[in-house]
């Protein structure tokens, strides 16, 4: 048997490790036999040398088996989740869970918090007064069974090896490795007890994957490895150059996500959410085609069933269900400042990265995992890409705790809007679909 140091050296030298080797490394790390600095060395070796599909599957399995794998066998039907690689204004999960659950597909979802320029689903949900995302696994399973969907954060029991290894990657410059990203995402998702997974891989200046080639490579690896792990997986590549929808900020985005349950939401947000819901219904066995799935989605919204599921989920997780019918109960910032177009023309682009950074500086986001967020603050776009504006016309509203918070950011936010003499070329939001 090779020593742990020899296994690290083997990966350093570009050799392929066996599933047993990788399982042993992960078990030694979570058991305290392998030190942080040794795991950091392994992660750097994997980053530089790469990992085969077989190694990535083994790493995924070892990480998910490092904790509890949720047993959802008591929940009838095909359990389907969705994961997004993160973007600005991406609040799709909050609409998806009640819509898909209302169509008869149970949705157990473990989500994350925002970091850097991207928002997090958990922060948005916690804008709902009383809403708890830190439920234990038995309560999580019960709500999925009783309501049809539940949204929580990663617990100490779910893939604890991933949580520790990601913390190391974050400080050792080994985050941008496709195999390590794949294992991190899938270990958490597969530990939920799901049968199928839909992936929303964002691409563009507001996404972590800036180029189409990088996004396609990540999506393909996620689908391939997830399929080899025994799950049904599809991925959509979706555009993230401009913010999705009109809101950026926790309570503001939650309001927009709830609005969709009543048939009122921006076109781009509706398009992205419906495209993902179609995939979830197909994997869940509720629809054989896109048009059939879209019909179910429209009926779930028009009948009020999706809103009712949302009310039940909010109540089950300790929140105030009145928020679903009256979003004015969500936190509201005391100061609202209007930004105006510096010139006439067409909105040719809105820099999602810059808007996300500005929202974070207002207090809507965080640069460290231990920072709190202000649920009330953020930005509401009053003009979107493709709109024609006059000089002085409103282009955004800034919701702030203090007007002084806006003063230093106004110029930067206005500069994020690229205004030109001609209309931009229309580009599809959903770029590509990838399946096994």
Mode of pairing for the β-strands spanning 378-381 and 417-420: unpaired
**From CA 393, how far away is CA 338, in angstroms rounded?**
10
Is 188 designated active site?
yes
Q: What is the pLDDT of residue 413?
A: 97
DSSP character at residue 75: S
pTM of the model as a whole = 0.92
From 123, 162, 200, 405, the catalytic residue? 162
From 169, 216, 232, 274, the catalytic residue? 169
**From CA 12, how far away is CA 14, in angstroms rounded?**
6
From 83, 239, 255, 305, the catalytic residue? 83
**From CA 319, how far away is CA 64, in angstroms rounded?**
30
**From CA 263, how far away is CA 269, in angstroms rounded?**
11
**From CA 382, how far away is CA 384, in angstroms rounded?**
7
Residue 247: beta bridge partners?
Answer: 380
Per-residue pLDDT of 351-401, as tens digits, reads: 999 999 999 999 998 877 778 899 999 999 999 999 999 999 999 999 999
Q: What is the pLDDT of residue 367?
A: 74
The stretches in the chain having pLDDT less than 50 are none
Mode of pairing for the β-strands spanning 80-84 and 196-203: parallel
Cα Rg, the chain, nearest whole Å = 22
**From CA 152, how far away is CA 131, in angstroms rounded?**
10
Domain parsing of the chain, residue ranges: 4-50, 80-154+175-327, 332-420
* 55, 82 Cβ separation under 8 angstroms: no
Residue 340: beta bridge partners?
Answer: 394
**From CA 177, how far away is CA 117, in angstroms rounded?**
20
Residue 317 CA, distance from chain mean position = 20
Is 162 designated active site?
yes
Which distant-in-sequence residues (6+ apart) come within 8 Å of 262 by Cβ? Answer: 301, 307
Domain 80-154+175-327 bears CATH identifier 3.40.50.300 = no
* 236, 275 Cβ separation under 8 angstroms: yes
Is 40 designated active site?
no
Q: Where are the alpha helices (DSSP H) in 385-436?
A: 403-407, 410-415
Per-residue pLDDT of 390-410, as tens digits, reads: 999 999 999 999 999 999 899
Q: What is the pLDDT of residue 264?
A: 93
Per-residue pLDDT of 209-244, as tens digits, reads: 999 999 999 999 999 999 988 999 999 999 999 999
Q: What phi and psi values does residue 72 have, to the nearest 5 degrees?
A: -110, 25
- Other residues' Cβ atoms within 10 Å of the Cβ of residue 47: 19
**From CA 120, how far away is CA 39, in angstroms rounded?**
28
From 66, 93, 177, 184, the catalytic residue? 184
Return the CATH fold of 332-420.
Aldehyde Oxidoreductase; domain 3 (3.90.1170)
Is 295 designated active site?
no
Is 132 designated active site?
no
* 101, 266 Cβ separation under 8 angstroms: no
* 192, 150 Cβ separation under 8 angstroms: no
Question: How many C-alpha atoms does 400 have within 13 Å on its Cβ side?
Answer: 21
From 124, 188, 189, 232, the catalytic residue? 188
Nearest to 184 by CA among 157, 203, 159, 214: 159
Q: Do 4-50 and 332-420 agree at the fold level?
A: no
- Give me the architecture of the 4-50 domain, per CATH: Up-down Bundle (1.20)
Cβ-count burial of 302 within 10 angstroms (0-12 exposed, 13-18 middle, 19+ buried)?
A: exposed
* 183, 53 Cβ separation under 8 angstroms: no
């Amino acid at each position: 048997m090779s020593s742990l140091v020899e296994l690290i050296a083997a990966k350093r030298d570009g050799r392929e490790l066996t599933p047993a080797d990788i399982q042993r490394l992960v078990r030694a790390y979570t058991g305290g036999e392998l030190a942080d600095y040794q795991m950091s060395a392994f992660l750097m070796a994997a980053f530089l040398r790469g990992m085969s599909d077989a190694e990535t599957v083994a790493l995924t399995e070892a990480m998910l088996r490092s904790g509890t794998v949720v047993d959802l066998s008591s929940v009838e039907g095909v359990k389907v989740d969705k994961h997004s690689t993160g973007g600005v204004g991406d609040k799709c999960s909050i609409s998806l869970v009640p819509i898909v659950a209302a169509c008869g597909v149970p949705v157990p979802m473990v989500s994350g918090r925002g970091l850097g320029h991207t928002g997090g689903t958990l922060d948005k949900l916690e804008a709902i007064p009383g809403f708890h995302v830190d439920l234990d696994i038995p309560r999580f399973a019960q709500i999925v069974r009783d309501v049809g969907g539940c949204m929580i954060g990663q617990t100490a029991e779910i893939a604890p090896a991933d949580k520790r290894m990601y913390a190391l990657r974050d400080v050792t410059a080994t985050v941008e490795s496709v195999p390590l990203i794949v294992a991190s995402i899938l270990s958490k998702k597969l530990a939920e007890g799901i049968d199928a997974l839909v992936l929303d891989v964002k691409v563009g200046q507001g996404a972590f994957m800036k180029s189409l080639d990088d996004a396609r490579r990540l999506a393909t690896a996620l689908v391939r490895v997830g399929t080899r792990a025994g799950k049904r997986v599809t991925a959509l590549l979706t555009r993230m150059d401009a913010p999705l929808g009109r809101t950026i900020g926790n309570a503001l985005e939650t309001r927009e996500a709830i609005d969709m349950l009543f048939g009122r939401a921006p076109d781009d947000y509706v398009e992205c959410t419906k495209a993902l819901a179609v995939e979830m219904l197909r994997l869940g066995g509720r629809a054989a085609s896109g048009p059939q799935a879209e019909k179910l989605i429209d009926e779930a919204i028009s009948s009020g069933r999706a809103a009712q599921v949302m009310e039940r989920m909010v109540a089950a997780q300790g929140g105030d269900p009145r928020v679903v019918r009256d979003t004015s109960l969500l936190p509201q910032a005391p100061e609202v400042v209007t930004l105006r177009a510096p010139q006439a023309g067409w909105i040719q682009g809105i820099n999602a990265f810059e808007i996300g950074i500005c929202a974070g500086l207002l207090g809507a986001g965080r640069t460290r995992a231990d920072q709190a967020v202000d649920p009330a603050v953020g930005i509401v776009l009053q003009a979107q890409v493709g709109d024609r504006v006059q000089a002085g016309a409103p282009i955004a509203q800034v919701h702030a705790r203090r007007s002084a918070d806006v003063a230093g950011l106004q110029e930067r936010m206005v500069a994020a809007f690229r205004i030109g003499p001609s209309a931009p070329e229309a580009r599809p939001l959903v770029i590509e679909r990838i399946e096994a």
